[in-house]
Amino acid sequence: MIERSYGDFERKHHKTVIKKYGKKQFDIWHRSYDVPPPGGESMKMVEKRVLSFIKDLLTLMEKEKTNVVISAHNNSMRPFRRYFENLTIKQMMALENPYDKYFDYTVEC
C-alpha cells in the first residue's frame, strides 16, 4: 500500500520543516487527521484510499476464497488497523507501528 504523500515536504527532514514553519505547524501537518501538508495528503485522504482498497480486497477474498498478505507503510497502516481493530480516529492517529511486528487479522467471508 502506497505511503502517505507529504507533498512539498517529500524527502525533507523533519528538522528542516520545523525550522522553516515551526513545531506547532509541523505537528498539525504531521499528526492531524484532516489537514494535509502543502501538496500532500491528509490522513483522512489516506484513509479513504485504504478503505476503498479494503472493500475491493474483501470482495476478492470472498470470491476467490483466498488469504492475503498486505505490506504497508506506517501512515497507510494506521487506517488498516483502525478498520480491523475498530479504533477511533484519535486512537488511530496515536498509533506507532513497530517495524519488527506484524498484525494478523481473521476475516470471515
31 plus 58 within the same structural domain: no
Do 62 and 18 sit in the same domain of this protein? Answer: no
Angle 95-96-97 from CA coordinates, rounded to 5°: 110
Both 63 and 109 in one domain: the answer is: yes
pLDDT tens, residue order, the chain (109 aa):
889 999 999 999 999 999 999 999 999 999 899 999 999 999 999 999 999 999 999 999 999 999 999 988 889 999 999 999 999 999 999 998 888 888 999 888 6
The number of beta carbons lying within 10 Å of the beta carbon of residue 86 is: 8
Owning domain of residue 74: 41-109
Same domain, residue pair 21 and 32: yes
- Per the structure, how many domains does the chain have? 2
In a domain, residue 22? The reply is yes
- What is the rounded CA–CA span in Å between residue 47 and residue 34? 10
